[in-house]
Amino acid sequence: MHAGSEIPHTPAVPLVGAADALTPRVRGWLGRRTYAGADWDAARIRPLKGDLRVSVVLPARNEAATIGGIVAAIADTLTGGPHPVVDEILVVDSHSDDATAAVARAAGAVVAHQDAIRPDLPPSLGKGDALWKSLFAVTGDIVVFLDADVRDFTPGYVTGLLGPLLADTGLAYVKGFYDRPADPAGAAGRAGGGRVTELVARPLLNLLAPDLAGFVQPLAGEAAGRADVLRRVPFAAGYGVEIGLLLDLYALVGLDRLAQVDLGVRHHRHQDLADLGAMAAQVQAAALRRVAGRRPGRADAAHEQVRPLVQYERAAGEQRRVRVRDIRVADRPPHDRVPPAPDPAPPAPDHVPRDPDPAPPAATDAAPAPRPVPGPGGAGTGRGPGPAPVRSGA
Ligand SMILES: O=c1ccn([C@@H]2O[C@H](COP(=O)(O)OP(=O)(O)O)[C@@H](O)[C@H]2O)c(=O)[nH]1
Ligand SMILES: O=C(O)[C@@H](COP(=O)(O)O)O[C@H]1O[C@H](CO)[C@@H](O)[C@H](O)[C@H]1O
């Protein structure tokens, strides 16, 4: 394995004119811990993988249009052939009501419904829950999280995320970054996507955790981490999961065990502004919970602190209406504080969740049992259980 400074890097983001706006710590991190996805292909990382197992996890709610192509690209190029680097592909079906599960299975993934994994735990909704549950079901020493709504996915997303982690055992977690054109045909360099990142997450991190200001895409759904480290942090149940993981992993392992890798360009489905408003509320809640000194994982405290979000909408020619979004999301406790399943969970369709022997509950206080996430788990993604009932305008 190499020390971090010896493995290939992309030239850090040119800081022309901005250098002194970043702390020396962040400037140093940008230089040391920013990698180029293009530097890593299966041939190069296969020898680095050794006996480590790699699991790819895709949380998917109503992604039938894209999940098949993504899974097939991974299954066809990275699980077999001369340089196999992926040992399993798990799609967590997050309350889809389209053909996501069937399409994913046909393309070569194992599919487990979110509530079929550890059914002894309260039912849950939301992207963060899907990721949290996946860690009960996968066997990988390294887990790669990928969004399932990406339109131009390439296996390079996976090898790019794996490369730095496999080349440097000092790294614990790597996030992807990319150009995010708003329009589907947008070429590299076009911006417009990542509205919650630019309007909420980046300003919030700048204010509350400036050490993380070097992350180009702090909310990127494409990330990879060592499973044993991921099992030591809580997971925010909804869309707060990415910023929650970033803040908790930074607190747990420190900045220099985190990294980012340039994956090029990413086109994905864009939600409407109202849905992003609910997402933004969850991102803020997860960040403030962590930074405001509440101990992560105290779902009860977090749960009671967030009021539903009231939005206002009016269709042409109609009366203005109130739209109430239940954005309260709990933190799911770290895996190493979740008691083992009371008895072997009934096998989920085509997959029997793996339940690692978690460490005994921490001596301090047993993490509160995960609580169901009320309302739209995915901040009203429009692709699953919708937001709280709309009440007509006053
Ligand atoms: O309750 C949810 C909401 C989203 N997702 C998945 O999480 C990923 C990112 O969600 P989305 O595309 O809604 O977020 P965006 O990319 O628009 O920010 C996608 O694979 C979704 O299918 C999920 O599994 N459960
Ligand atoms: O980056 C963002 O602003 C949001 C929304 O992106 P768009 O404005 O729809 O391109 O998307 C990210 O944030 C979500 C919440 O953390 C993640 O779940 C998504 O994976 C990520 O794409």
CB burial class (10 A; 0-12, 13-18, 19+) of residue 245? buried
Q: What is the pLDDT of residue 65?
A: 97
Q: Is 66 in the pocket of ligand 2 (CB under 6 A)?
A: no
Q: Does the pLDDT value for residue 305 go beyond 50?
A: yes
Nearest ligand by distance to the CA of 279: 2
* Interval between CA 209 and ligand 2 midpoint (Å): 19
- The DSSP secondary-structure symbol of 21 reads G
Supply the ipTM of this predicted assembly. Answer: 0.97
Q: Is 114 in the pocket of ligand 2 (CB under 6 A)?
A: no
Q: Which residues line ligand 1 (CB under 6 A)?
A: 59-61, 63, 94, 125-127, 130, 147-149, 221, 268-269, 271, 377-378, 381, 384
Each residue of 179-222: pLDDT tens digit? 888 776 655 556 778 999 999 999 999 999 999 999 999 999 99
* Interval between CA 342 and ligand 1 midpoint (Å): 30
* Interval between CA 254 and ligand 2 midpoint (Å): 24
Please, what are the domains in the chain?
A: 19-337 (3.90.550.10)
CA dist 105 and 124 (Å) reads 22
- The DSSP secondary-structure symbol of 218 reads T
Query: In Å, how far are 11, 77, 229, 241 from 58, measured between CA atoms?
Result: 30, 17, 19, 14
Q: Is 194 in the pocket of ligand 2 (CB under 6 A)?
A: yes
Q: What is the pLDDT of residue 333?
A: 95
Cα torsion angle, 125, 129, 133, 134, sign? positive
Mean pLDDT for the stretch of residues 326-353: 78
Categorise residue 17: left if φ over 0, alpha if ψ from -120 to 50, beta otherwise: left
CA dist 224 and 266 (Å) reads 17
- Which atom, in ligand 2's list, is nearest to the CA of 276? 5
Q: Is 219 in the pocket of ligand 2 (CB under 6 A)?
A: yes
Q: What is the pLDDT of residue 349?
A: 59
CA dist 351 and 13 (Å) reads 42
Q: Is 34 in the pocket of ligand 2 (CB under 6 A)?
A: no
Residue carrying structure tokens 């607190």: 251
Q: Is 221 in the pocket of ligand 2 (CB under 6 A)?
A: yes
CA dist 25 and 16 (Å) reads 17
Each residue of 124-161: pLDDT tens digit? 879 999 999 999 999 999 999 999 999 989 999 999 99
- Which atom, in ligand 2's list, is nearest to the CA of 269? 9
CB count within 10 Å of CB 194 equals: 23
Within a 13 Å sphere around the CA of 219, how many CA atoms are in the beta-carbon half? Answer: 26
The pTM for the full model equals 0.86
* Interval between CA 21 and ligand 2 midpoint (Å): 26
Q: Give Cβ neighbours of residue 33 (< 8 Å, ≥ 6 apart).
A: 4, 171, 214, 255, 256, 258, 259, 260
Q: What is the pLDDT of residue 239?
A: 97
Of 199, 300, 294, the closest CA to residue 244 belongs to 294
Each residue of 96-131: pLDDT tens digit? 999 999 999 999 999 999 999 999 998 887 999 999
